[in-house]
Amino acid sequence: MMYHAESFAKDGFETTIVGYKGTTPTPSLLSAPGIRFQYLSTPPKLPGKVFVLLAPIKVAVQLLSLLYALIVVGRPPEFIVVQNPPSIPTLAVVQLASWLRGSKLIIDWHNLGYSILALKLGQHHFLVRIAKWFERTFGRNAYAHLFVTNAMKERLVHDWDLQGLKIVLHDRPPARFHRASATEAHELFLRIPPFLPTLSSDFAPSIHPPRSTIRTAVTSGHAPSLGADIFSGSSSPVASFRPDRPALVISSTSWTEDEDFGILINALKQYEMEAQRRATTKLGTKSSLPKLLMVVTGKGPLRDSYMQRVLELENHEKWQWVRCRSMWVEAADYPLLLGASDLGVSLHSSSSALDLPMKVVDMFGCGLPVCALDFACLDELVQDGQNGLVFTSADQLANQLTALLSGFPAEATKLDELRSHFDASEGPGASSVHSKWLSWEENWNAVIKPLL
């Protein structure tokens, strides 16, 4: 929703963002004129054992906080835009607020709230049935319905008889998402090195900040922006990617039940075994495998248990070729980290099988190929063999990692083929699929701006 808010502000609307305080908004959003933030009271966290009993209390807190923000505070807005999920009590409150204040309601359907609840309670639980009724009832009528996939539009229009304008707005990243230069990557890795102390010297190449990082090195010039003169004779640093760098593979997750991180752990274990085998057989450069640094960004409830499992494997099985680390990246640095990576992994399985992983959209915006877990409508985004590869099991993912990273960095032919697809899509040689790829701004101007 940050992109939506920024676009409304750029189109001249006084924009209020209503939500919970937490992650720092992007710098472009903070600096945009006409934007203010209205923070909601944080609802209580409910332990799993008493979730059913205390859920009404949580809903009541959310209800009162939303009612105050939407009905009492400020002037009546021309538009109220809500992202679904969450559904309860949000959809009912925005319906009431739009009616009382004469506002046009726009519902941005990103997923189905009841399908996420079903992951916790089971598909046939009575609360899931109530949630589905609530979502269908209070989500049916709106000035406009936005959908992230064609599949979601077709399903909801058919099953729930949605009333109002119905528009597919595929997620796209803003222009600040791009492939990072070596200098951008160098400055980034000097700023965000929290996992480096946990990487043993026999895994990571030697590092001498600010001259070098785990991925880059400054070869000439000096770097006042990095806080130290490195060489004389030039006014700016000249960085390059190190030939001995590990492959950087990245994934982003909310660490919830709809993403099976165990698939990635098992694939990394198989990659470690294959890398050891190839090292002992002394195969040629094209068949050799690099050290693999797996970085997983995001916060969530299952993070600690999964990362503990990874560390136990690294230590007990004495991994030499793979390290997996979790880190939190601020919004301003996240596009640069994606743009400085070699390959992305998506474990998103979609509770509804109707949405698409935003993380893959962001990766594509940075020209980053992806290995993505398959589900029903994934082909609206990932074209298998063109901008990424699709897998259904840990075995498949492990095979894809070894195939794409063989010969890295100098002779990673298959990875280079996927990366070249993004280069081609920016010019006149664009494929029919990616000639339709627009930036967020272009997509907004073509699809949404005419409605405002």
Q: Is there a contact between 274 and 289 (Cβ–Cβ < 8 Å)?
A: yes
310 token code pair = 């990874």
Question: In the predicted model, what is the mean pLDDT of residues 94-103?
Answer: 95
Q: Which residues, other chains included, contact 155 with Cβ-Cβ below 8 Å and sequence gap of 6+?
A: 354
Question: In the predicted model, what is the mean pLDDT of residues 375-403?
Answer: 95
Block residue for tokens 């960085």: 239
Distance, in Å, from the CA atom of 273 to the CA atom of 23, rounded to the nearest integer, reads 38
Treating both helix axes as pointing N-terminal to C-terminal, what angle do 440-447 and 2-10 enclose, rounded to 10 degrees?
70
Distance, in Å, from the CA atom of 82 to the CA atom of 388, rounded to the nearest integer, reads 32
- Structure confidence at residue 14 as a pLDDT band (50, 70, 90): very high
Treating both helix axes as pointing N-terminal to C-terminal, what angle do 413-425 and 394-405 enclose, rounded to 10 degrees?
90
Distance, in Å, from the CA atom of 407 to the CA atom of 413, rounded to the nearest integer, reads 8
Distance, in Å, from the CA atom of 433 to the CA atom of 31, rounded to the nearest integer, reads 35
Block residue for tokens 């990659």: 271
pLDDT at residue 194, as a whole number: 63
Q: Is there a contact between 401 and 292 (Cβ–Cβ < 8 Å)?
A: yes
Closest CA to 262 of 220, 298, 231, 307: 307
Has residue 78 got a pLDDT over 90? yes
DSSP 247-305: EEEEEE---STTB-HHHHHHHHHHHHHHHHHHHHHT--GGG----EEEEEE---TTHHH
- Which has the minimum average pLDDT: 38-42, 308-312, 403-407? 38-42
Chain segment 200-221, per-residue pLDDT in tens: 778 888 888 889 999 999 976 5
pLDDT at residue 50, as a whole number: 61
Chain segment 228-263, per-residue pLDDT in tens: 444 444 456 689 999 999 999 999 988 877 788 999
> What is the b/e burial string over 77-92, where b = at least 16 CB atoms within 10 angstroms of the residue's CB?
bebbbbbbbebbbbbb
Question: In the predicted model, what is the mean pLDDT of residues 279-306?
Answer: 85
Has residue 299 got a pLDDT over 60? yes
Give φ, ψ of 23 to 5 degrees: -65, 140
Asked if omega into 89 is within 30° of 0 (cis), the reply is yes
Give φ, ψ of 116 to 5 degrees: -70, -40
Mean of all residue pLDDT scores within the chain: 86
Has residue 178 got a pLDDT over 60? yes
Distance, in Å, from the CA atom of 270 to the CA atom of 399, rounded to the nearest integer, reads 9
Sheet holding 247-252, edge to edge: 322-327, 292-297, 247-252, 343-346, 370-373, 388-391
